[in-house]
Amino acid sequence: MSLLGLFATVALLLSAAGVYGVMTYLVEQRAREIGVRLALGAERRDILRLMMGRGLVLALWGAAIGLLGALGLTRFLHGMPFELDQADPVTHISLTLLLICVALVACWIPARRATKVDPLVALKAE
């Protein structure tokens, strides 16, 4: 069980790194758009809300797919000698919420960086 816990921790860290990488790439790709929005008067909190909203949508889709996969695997593992309860909603919901929180923290860093985009630099880059 400790080995399984170690693998779960490594998987959580890898998923956080993946979400961070995707959001960083998204911010870099949309730097010009963010610069235009800031030049036209958008506030930094609007940019933060825009980027965090995008990350939240991705995190919710991933959590929904993962929850369906977890329910399917729980039924498969029920026949093995681990004494798993098939209908353990507390575990499924708490771990899904944990993954969503980790994804939001991983999204927050690039979203915060997006609020610091200088409109002039972003517009001159093109």
Q: Where are the domains of the chain?
A: 2-117
Q: How far apart are CA 34 and CA 31, in angstroms?
A: 5
Contact yes or no for 112/34 (Cβ under 8 A): no
Helices marked H in the chain = 2-29, 31-39, 44-77, 89-114, 119-124
Q: In the prediction, which pLDDT does 81 show? A: 61
Express each pLDDT in 29-73 by its tens digit. 888 888 888 888 888 899 899 888 988 898 899 889 988 888 888
Is the pLDDT at 113 greater than 70? The verdict is yes
Higher pLDDT, 32 or 79: 32
With tokens 């609007």, the residue in question is 46
Q: How far apart are CA 56 and CA 64, in angstroms?
A: 12
For the record, the structure tokens of 101 come out as 């929180």
Q: How far apart are CA 65 and CA 97, in angstroms?
A: 13
Is the pLDDT at 3 greater than 70? The verdict is yes
Q: In the prediction, which pLDDT does 6 show? A: 93
Q: In the prediction, which pLDDT does 87 show? A: 61
Q: How far apart are CA 58 and CA 24, in angstroms?
A: 14
Higher pLDDT, 101 or 1: 101
Q: How far apart are CA 25 and CA 50, in angstroms?
A: 15
Is the pLDDT at 76 greater than 90? The verdict is no
Structure confidence at residue 86 as a pLDDT band (50, 70, 90): low
Q: How far apart are CA 85 and CA 26, in angstroms?
A: 40
